[in-house]
Homo-oligomer: A and B are copies of this chain.
Amino acid sequence: MKIRKADDVPAEPVRAEGAKDVEIRLLIHEAEGAPNFYMRQFTVAPGGQTPEHTHAWEHEVYVLAGEGTAVTPDGERPVAVGDCVYVAPGDNHQFRNTGAAEMKFLCLVPKT
């Protein structure tokens, strides 16, 4: 078993095209030997955003702090702390921080 404060996990900037002011922390990943899926934490500064993109795997998201906008296949939707978001395989998506404080969320992906 491995217990860590998420904030103690080193953060790396997200350099993907379309990303702005986003950092990622690999909370439970290859280094832990996770066999099936990975837990990552994203921190988006006010005005920042994740890339808008589509891919063949799902996301399971939980918003830990802040508020923003989710781009969904059905248009833009508000998201805020305490929301869970299922992004199905093939769903176009993006998360934008429209608030005044940091937006933090977990985003879990299958090991591929």
List chain B residues, Cβ under 8 A from A5: 82-84
What secondary structure prevails in chain A residues at the interface with B? strand
User: Which candidate, A13-21, A26-34, A45-53, is the interface stretch facing chain B?
Assistant: A26-34
How many residues does chain A have at the interface if contact means C-beta atoms less than 8 Å apart?
A: 42
Q: How many copies does the complex hold?
A: 2
Q: Which of B3, B6, B73, B106 contacts A1 (CB 8 A)?
A: B73
Q: Are the CB atoms of B36 and A84 closer together than 8 Å?
A: no
Q: How far is the CB of A23 from chain B (nearest CB, A)?
A: 16
List chain B residues, Cβ under 8 A from A6: 62, 82-84
List chain B residues, Cβ under 8 A from A77: 1, 3
List chain B residues, Cβ under 8 A from A7: 82
